[in-house]
């Protein structure tokens, strides 16, 4: 997902451009291109907690930060976002337009040829500044001019009407670069790999802390204290403030043989170093996970090359690589959920693996009654109350593979009946574990010898199996 944003910023407010993502490009004077992918899961969770869709959250954040003095376009592709923004400029439209929504889709169909040629030419200038291999600006501009004359002669009013020509014909007449940019703006049935002359915008001097050790160290327990001190030093830098949320740190280690080893410290949710001054438990845990993985790989390489797998560290450079700017007026939007959200952020940042969110589906079958959360599919079902009630009686944890159980006749007397569920009898079975000899399975609660409350089922075969575990 990309956001094309038009806003005038004075030098003191320049860091506001990092409101949504650290990946920002200055496309032209007053126009910014923002790659939202790196922090999209974070903002998605914020939208869930706020009870609104992601597009509405972006709009509220923009209004809180820039007032009404902005216009923005949201799209899956940077070229499409820029094209929509250019059209908004032509029509003097303010606010945020999401191309994937109904109103945005209608606007995109009305985009003018002047918008198309303007965005294509400015993109070509970026390709030239980056010295893109084989690219020449003058031939490209000539091809665009040929295209402009052709559509005028043919009376084709908008690029949308020109899609029937096809990419092959565009390449044959106007060159491969025009064809590639055209495919980015008007993809066919399959969206192409994003092709964009990206040049990252760097706002402030690098935020760095250097350390030289008195003696070589090769174990985490000896490094941890020094790293904690350096995280505190980052917080004390003049260019770093409590309004900054860290997305990633880079820990560049200097080894005893003068080689350098980079350890990337990633946070799944933007993290405030100031919130854990002097302890830095979250940052140290992520540093530990990544340090151990990196050192294991390097130790194996050293063992193969030198016969000695011991690696000693003599110095390092700790730097902030990616960060967000979260002004107080934007954070105020989340006050009702701020404590819970921050607690969840801290938990996810401290775990070695990512947390996932799921939602109920319109299906009674256990295996297909839930899916990964998708806000675009979070529709109100007529019988949502019944589905929620059904879900509340089922366990939180389901086994990937059903586990055979031996339950005696006496133990059966203590079982508590839950529900009878019908299989998808008209489909081929997706799992050999399911009892497909019958249309139904009966589910019960069963307290085993280890005092675990299991969710067990039995079908026509009379074989007991554990399907889940109650928390």
Beta strands in 54-166 (DSSP E): 71-75, 95-98
Longest distance between any two alpha carbons in the chain, whole Å: 88
Please calculate the CA angle 331-337-339 and round it to the nearest 5 degrees.
85
pLDDT at position 372: 76
Q: Where in the chain is the domain with CATH 3.30.1490.100?
A: 207-350
Please report the pLDDT score of residue 285 as a whole number: 92
Residue 209: predicted pLDDT: 94
Per-residue pLDDT tens, the chain, 471 aa: give them: 899 999 988 777 888 899 999 999 999 999 999 999 888 888 887 777 777 788 888 998 899 888 888 999 999 899 999 999 999 999 999 999 999 888 888 999 999 999 999 999 999 999 999 998 888 999 999 999 999 999 999 899 999 988 888 888 888 998 889 998 898 888 865 667 888 899 999 877 788 999 999 998 888 999 999 999 999 999 998 888 888 889 999 999 998 888 899 999 988 888 889 888 999 999 999 999 999 888 888 887 777 776 666 788 999 999 999 999 887 766 665 554 555 566 666 777 777 777 777 777 777 778 777 877 665 554 455 566 677 777 788 888 888 888 888 888 888 888 999 888 877 777 665 554 555 455 778 899 998 888 889 999 886 677 888 999 997
What are the CA-CA distances from residue 134 to residues 174, 194, 208 (Å)?
A: 15, 19, 37
Which pair of tokens denotes residue 230? 């350096």
| CATH for the 207-350 domain, from 3.40.630.30, 3.30.310.10, 3.40.50.720, 3.30.1490.100 | 3.30.1490.100
Burial class (CB in 10 A: 0-12, 13-18, 19+), 424: middle
pLDDT for res 308: 66
User: Rounded to an integer, what distance in angstroms lies between the CA atom of residue 442 and that of residue 420?
Assistant: 4
> What does the block give as tokens for 364?
């009674």
230-235 contacts, C-beta under 8 A, 24 or more apart: 230/318, 231/273, 231/280, 231/283, 231/284, 231/318, 232/277, 232/278, 232/280, 233/209, 234/207, 234/209, 234/273, 234/318, 234/320, 235/273, 235/274, 235/277
CA pair distance 207, 328, nearest whole angstrom: 22
What local confidence, expressed as pLDDT, does residue 436 receive? 47
| DSSP conformational letter for 428 | -
């Amino acid at each position: 997902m990309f956001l094309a944003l038009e806003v005038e910023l004075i030098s003191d407010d320049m860091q506001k451009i990092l409101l949504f993502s650290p990946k920002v490009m200055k496309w032209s004077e007053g126009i910014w291109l923002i790659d939202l992918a790196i922090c999209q899961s974070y903002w998605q969770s914020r939208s869930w907690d706020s009870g609104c869709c992601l597009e509405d959250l972006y709009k509220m954040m923009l209004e809180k930060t820039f007032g009404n003095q902005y216009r923005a376009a949201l799209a899956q592709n940077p070229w499409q976002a820029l094209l929509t923004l250019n059209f908004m400029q032509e029509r003097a439209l303010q606010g945020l337009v999401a191309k994937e929504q109904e109103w945005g889709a209608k606007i995109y169909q009305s985009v003018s040829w002047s918008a198309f040629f303007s965005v294509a030419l400015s993109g070509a200038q970026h390709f030239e500044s980056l010295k893109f291999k084989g690219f020449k600006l003058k031939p490209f501009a000539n091809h665009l001019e040929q295209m402009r004359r052709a559509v005028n002669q043919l009376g084709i009013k908008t690029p949308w009407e020109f899609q029937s020509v096809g990419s092959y014909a565009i390449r044959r007449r106007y060159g491969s670069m025009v064809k590639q940019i055209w495919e980015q703006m008007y993809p066919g049935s399959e969206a192409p790999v994003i092709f964009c002359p990206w040049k990252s915008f760097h706002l402030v001097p690098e935020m760095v802390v250097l350390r030289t050790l008195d003696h070589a160290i090769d174990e985490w327990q000896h490094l941890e204290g020094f790293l904690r001190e350096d995280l505190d030093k980052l917080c004390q830098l003049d260019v770093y403030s409590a309004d900054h949320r860290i997305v990633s740190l880079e820990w560049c280690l200097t080894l005893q043989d003068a080689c350098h080893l980079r350890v990337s410290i990633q946070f799944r949710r933007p993290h405030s170093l100031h919130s854990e001054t002097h302890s830095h438990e979250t940052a140290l845990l992520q540093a530990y996970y990544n340090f151990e993985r990196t050192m294991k790989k390097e130790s194996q390489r050293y063992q193969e090359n030198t016969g000695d797998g011991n690696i000693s560290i003599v110095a390092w450079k700790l730097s902030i690589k990616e960060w967000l700017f979260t002004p107080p007026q934007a954070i105020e939007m989340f006050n009702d959920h701020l404590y819970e959200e921050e607690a969840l952020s801290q938990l996810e940042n401290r775990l070695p693996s990512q947390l996932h969110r799921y939602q109920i589906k319109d299906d009674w079958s256990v295996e297909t009654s839930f899916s990964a959360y998708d806000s675009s599919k979070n529709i109100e079902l007529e019988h949502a109350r019944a589905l929620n009630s059904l879900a509340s009686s089922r366990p939180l944890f389901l086994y990937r593979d059903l586990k055979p159980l031996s339950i005696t006749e006496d133990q059966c007397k203590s079982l508590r009946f839950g529900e009878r569920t019908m299989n998808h009898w008209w489909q081929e079975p997706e799992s050999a574990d399911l009892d497909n000899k019958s249309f139904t399975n009966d589910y019960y609660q069963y307290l085993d010898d280890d005092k675990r409350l299991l969710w067990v089922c039995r079908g026509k075969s009379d074989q007991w199996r554990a399907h889940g575990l109650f928390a």
